Structure 1
Amino acid sequence: MSTYETAQDQFIDVKGVRYAYRYFGAATEIPLVFNIHFRGTYDHWDPDFINPIASTRPVILIDNSGVGRSGGEIPKSYAGWAQNIVDVIEALGIKEVDVFGFSMGGFVAQLIALNAPHLVRKLILAGTGPSAGPGVQNGEPEYLALLSNAATEEEHHNGFLKTFYSPSDKKQALAELWWKRMTSARPGRAGYVGPEGTQRQLAAAIRWLGGEFREEGSYDRLDQIKIPVFIANGSNDLLIPTENSWVLWKKMVNAEAHLHIFPDSGHGFLNEYADIFSKQVIAFLDA
Structure 2
Amino acid sequence: MTTLQATRTQYVDAANGVRFAFRQLGTKDGIPLVLHIHYRGNMDYWDPLLINALAATRPVIIFDQSGVGRSSGEVATSFQGWAANVIALCDALHLNKIDLLGFSMGGAAVQMVALTAPQLVRKLIVAGTTASQPPADETGEGIVWPRVQPPKEHIEMLAADVKTADEAARAIAFSFFYDTDAGRQSAKKYWDSIQTRNVIDEPLILTLLDHKKAENQFITFGDWITPNTTNSFERLHELKMPVLVLNGDDDRLIPTTRSWELHARIPGSQLIIYPVAGHGFIWQHAEWVATDVARFLDGVGDDRLMKL
- Counterpart secondary structure, 1:159: helix
One-letter amino acid matched to 1:30: I
Runs of 4+ in 1 over 4 A off after TM superposition: none
Residue 269 of structure 1 corresponds to 281
- Hey, what's the Cα distance between the residues in 1 that align with 2:89 and 2:165? 31
Following superposition of structure 1 onto structure 2, how do residues 133-144 of structure 1 map, counting pairs within 5 Å?
Answer: 133=134, 134=138, 135=143, 136-144=147-155
Task: Structure 2 unaligned segments of length 5 or more: list them.
Answer: 300-308
- Number of aligned residue pairs: give it: 283
Residue 248 of structure 1 corresponds to 262
- Counterpart secondary structure, 2:44: coil
- Hey, what's the Cα distance between the residues in 2 that align with 1:83 and 1:140? 31
Residue 260 of structure 1 corresponds to 272
Q: CA deviation at 1:38?
A: 0.5
- Hey, what's the Cα distance between the residues in 2 that align with 1:23 and 1:157? 26
Q: Is 1:178–2:190 an aligned residue pair? A: yes
Give yes or no for contact 2:132–2:232 (8 Å, CA) kept in 1.
Answer: yes
Q: CA deviation at 1:217?
A: 1.5
**Deviation string, structure 1 residues 36-70 (Cα, Å, up to 9, x no partner):** 00000011101111101011100111111100000
Give yes or no for contact 2:5–2:196 (8 Å, CA) kept in 1.
Answer: no
- Hey, what's the Cα distance between the residues in 2 that align with 1:137 and 1:109? 23
Give yes or no for contact 1:62–1:85 (8 Å, CA) kept in 2.
Answer: no
Residue 214 of structure 2 corresponds to 198
- Could you tell me which of 293, 297, 307 is aligned with 1:281? 293
Of residues 102-111 and 127-136 in structure 1, the stretch that sits farther from structure 2 once superposed is 127-136
Q: CA deviation at 1:155?
A: 2.1
TM-score relative to the length of structure 1: 0.95
- Hey, what's the Cα distance between the residues in 2 that align with 1:31 and 1:221? 26
- Counterpart secondary structure, 2:225: helix
Q: CA deviation at 1:171?
A: 2.2
Residue 145 of structure 1 corresponds to 156
Higher Cα radius of gyration:
2
- Hey, what's the Cα distance between the residues in 2 that align with 1:206 and 1:137? 16
- Counterpart secondary structure, 1:69: coil
One-letter amino acid matched to 1:225: L
- Hey, what's the Cα distance between the residues in 2 that align with 1:164 and 1:129? 16
Quote the RMSD (CA, aligned, Å).
1.3
**Deviation string, structure 1 residues 96-150 (Cα, Å, up to 9, x no partner):** 0000000000001101111000100000111111010153544223211101102
Following superposition of structure 1 onto structure 2, how do residues 59-98 of structure 1 map, counting pairs within 5 Å?
Answer: 59-98=60-99
One-letter amino acid matched to 1:189: L
- Hey, what's the Cα distance between the residues in 1 that align with 2:277 and 2:18? 38
- Hey, what's the Cα distance between the residues in 2 that align with 1:73 and 1:138? 29
Residue 302 of structure 2 corresponds to none
Q: Is 1:209–2:222 an aligned residue pair? A: no
Residue 4 of structure 1 corresponds to 4
Give yes or no for contact 2:165–2:208 (8 Å, CA) kept in 1.
Answer: no
One-letter amino acid matched to 2:217: Q
Of residues 74-83 and 145-154 in structure 1, the stretch that sits farther from structure 2 once superposed is 145-154
Q: CA deviation at 1:278?
A: 0.6
Q: CA deviation at 1:264?
A: 1.1
Q: Calculate percent identity across the aligned residue pairs.
A: 37
Residue 117 of structure 1 corresponds to 118
Give yes or no for contact 1:43–1:186 (8 Å, CA) kept in 2.
Answer: no
- Counterpart secondary structure, 2:76: coil
Shift in alpha-carbon separation, 1:241–1:186, aligned structure 2, 3 A: farther
**Deviation string, structure 1 residues 11-36 (Cα, Å, up to 9, x no partner):** 11112221111121111211000000
- Counterpart secondary structure, 2:290: helix
- Counterpart secondary structure, 1:179: helix
TM-score relative to the length of structure 2: 0.89
Residue 232 of structure 1 corresponds to 246
